[in-house]
Amino acid sequence: MIWVYTVTEVNKVLTRKVNSLDEVETLRGEADWIWIDLVEPNDKELDVACELVKEGKIKEDFKAQRIYQQPERVHDYFLFSIPYGVFEETLKRYPIYLLVQKKTLLTIRNKVTSKLVKRVKKTFEDCVGRVCKGDINSSFLVGRLFHEVTNADLDVVMALRENIDKLEENALSNPADRSISRSVFQLKREISTLERILWSQRELMLSIREGLVLEVKTTVEISETLTHAINNISRELTLIDSHNNALESVLSLQDLGLIHRVERNLIYLTFMALVVSVILILLEIDILSLLQTCSRILC
């Protein structure tokens, strides 16, 4: 699905759905600035993006869900991706690909990101007059995308926390449950993946704020938006550290449960050894002979 957004002379955002490269090029020729948004595109729609950018690898990269750690120059565009994570039993990544040119913004994304992009579009519509006046449409949208993605990251962090809390409850009630350890190490892998996503987002935003992506203007407002998003990442990384500590505590509870279990087994084995020892002693004394001897004495 391809959506195209343009701005009229009276600062109104127009939304159109298109199906071909010709339609996109027509709108591109009529507008001063254009946002082309590909939502879960099929092969034909990805071909439209490749033709626009004159680069075929975009199609392969989207299908492979490649993450760009740093912006890359692709002809007249800067290409980078914003990694977006969603926790659905496991952590899944849905990168948002952006190709930025002064008069064009091209985004390629999964429909899972639609809620946050809808919020970005709403903010853009509210601020379009001021944004267009400064000729920073694409830059403004890039900043807002980072802002919404880093806000959404907190939902993933809290979802992981809920799973850790459940594990802690299970470990307290049944410390001998071996499945708890497997769940702990699974969550550790998910947290490690999320940590890499957050660091990738942070480094990319720092590159943009420092002016390394020439097509993204870092005005005072956009710099403040990026700084806020970077602070979100710092907060979330701190929470992740506490998650790792909590998982270590769960493993400690497991170890304590195993120690208690071994202690109970040792007590049981000691008791059984004592009983066996008594039986062996009695057998050595020959109880039957002793009873016969006592009988003769009494007679």
Predicted pLDDT at 282: 59
Q: CB of 142 within 8 A of CB of 101?
A: no
Considering its fold, how many domains does the chain have in total? 1
217 assigned to some structural domain: yes
265 assigned to some structural domain: no
Q: Is 43 exposed, middle or buried (0-12, 13-18, 19+ CB in 10 A)?
A: exposed
Q: Show the tokens assigned to 120.
A: 């970005």
pTM: 0.77
212 assigned to some structural domain: yes
76 assigned to some structural domain: yes
Cα of 245 vs its chain's centroid, Å: 19
281 assigned to some structural domain: no
Q: Taking the CA of residue 192 as centre, how many other CA atoms within 13 Å lie in the half-sphere pointing to its CB?
A: 7
66 assigned to some structural domain: yes
Predicted pLDDT at 281: 66
Predicted pLDDT at 37: 92
Write the pLDDT tens digit of every residue in 265-286.
556 666 676 766 666 665 666 6
Transcribe 138-167 into DSSP letters: HHHHHHHHHHHHHHHHHHHHHHHHHHHHHH
Range of 6's domain? 2-254
Predicted pLDDT at 38: 92
176 assigned to some structural domain: yes
Going through the chain in order, the beta strands assigned E by DSSP cover: 2-7, 13-18, 34-39, 72-74, 77-82, 85-88, 90-93, 96-101, 104-109
Sites in the chain below the pLDDT cut of 50: 259
Predicted pLDDT at 85: 83
Predicted pLDDT at 211: 82
CATH number of the domain enclosing 184 = 3.30.460.20
DSSP state, residue 18: E
Predicted pLDDT at 48: 83
